[in-house]
Amino acid sequence: MITVLSPAKSLNFDDQTLVDKHSQIAFPNKTEQLVNKLKKLSAKKLGELMKLSPALSDLNYERYQEFSKEFNNDNAKQAILAFTGAVYQGIKADGFDKKDFDFAQEHVRILSGLYGVLKPLDLIQPYRLEMGTKLPVSAKQKNLYAFWKETTTQYLNDELKGDVLINLASNEYFKSIDIKSLNSDVLTLNFKDNKNGVYKTIMTYAKTARGYMTNYIVKNKINAVEDLRGFDYEGYVFNNDLSSDLDWTFTRG
């Protein structure tokens, strides 16, 4: 069983070291191809491409100009510790012990516009490149979905070996996987809150809940799909009435 997540825009590259172990990205040549293309863009063009403010345009221009082929402890950080968005606030990896990090490394994957697929302990350098960015990579690959889809799908097929893929990623990132070519079932997990008597997906809460579920999987070393029904963090419980075989919903309130 492998769980897939989206990355986060917000990053923390402070020097704190919670785990010494690290790994290297799976597709350095493809990442380098993208970086070389982005390096040629001015800060203004980069901002227009990604719809960034002038300050963020300048920041990401500098990031790509300084991007190195070598990933080490001086210029990079483990992905699960570098991302700090709502999902990762829910994951709370700063509370992981060695066994937790080892389990996550085997069973959690992070989809990325720049890196394709990341293991939690893969070293990454600071970047901004959402999967939905309309970056034409070549004549045949007019966007990042075309650039990554075959690679990402084959990678996951090799790792899953027919086991179940747990989808905790956003639609934007999950579309980088070719479901028709995936040799495994996909179980999508949804999180809804009671608002005026109706269960609705409130994205801010749902993102954090994806992190809570990831924490639950890692901390409890869950390998069986049925054990996910026991998830009960922050008031969420499995809602059988709103769930189907491969689309489960957890509700609260």
Predicted confidence (pLDDT) per residue in 34-88, tens digit: 999 999 999 999 999 999 999 999 999 999 999 999 999 899 999 999 999 999 9
- pLDDT tens by residue, 86-99: 999 999 999 999 99
pLDDT of 192 strictly over 80: yes
User: Which residue bears the tokens 């020097």?
Assistant: 15
Could you tell me what percent of the chain has a pLDDT over 90?
94
Rounded Cα distance, 239 and 177, in Å: 27
Is residue 173 within 8 Å of residue 8, measured between CB atoms? no
Rounded Cα distance, 47 and 118, in Å: 25
Which of 22, 1, 24, 26 minimizes the C-alpha distance to 154?
A: 26
Is residue 104 within 8 Å of residue 162, measured between CB atoms? no
Is residue 213 within 8 Å of residue 188, measured between CB atoms? no
Beta-strand (E) ranges in 114-202? 116-118, 123-124, 165-167, 186-195, 198-200
Rounded Cα distance, 86 and 76, in Å: 21
- Provide the H-helix boundaries in 40-139: 43-50, 54-66, 79-82, 86-91, 98-107
Q: Tell me the sheet residues that pair with 195.
A: 198
- pLDDT tens by residue, 100-157: 999 999 999 999 999 999 999 999 999 999 999 999 998 889 999 999 999 999 999 9
For the chain, which residues make up each domain, given as ranges? Answer: 2-26+75-252
pLDDT at 15: 73
Beta-strand (E) ranges in the chain? 2-5, 77-78, 108-112, 116-118, 123-124, 165-167, 186-195, 198-200, 237-238, 247-252
User: Given CA atoms 216, 219, 225, 226 in this order, what sign does their dihedral have?
Assistant: negative
Has this prediction a pTM greater than 0.75?
A: yes
**Which tokens belong to 71?**
């990933």
**Which tokens belong to 112?**
């990325």
Q: Tell me the sheet residues that pair with 108.
A: 3
Q: To the nearest whole number, what is the mean pLDDT of the chain?
A: 96
Residue 163 pLDDT level (bands cut at 50, 70, 90): very high
Could you tell me what percent of the chain has a pLDDT over 70?
100
pLDDT of 19 strictly over 90: no
Residue 18 pLDDT level (bands cut at 50, 70, 90): confident
**Which tokens belong to 138?**
């070549």
Rounded Cα distance, 33 and 11, in Å: 22
pLDDT at 209: 98
User: Which residue bears the tokens 């709370």?
Assistant: 92
Rounded Cα distance, 9 and 83, in Å: 7
Q: Tell me the sheet residues that pair with 23.
A: 122
Question: How large is the average pLDDT for residues 213-227?
Answer: 97
Which of 242, 59, 74 minimizes the C-alpha distance to 252?
A: 242
Question: How large is the average pLDDT for residues 1-10?
Answer: 97
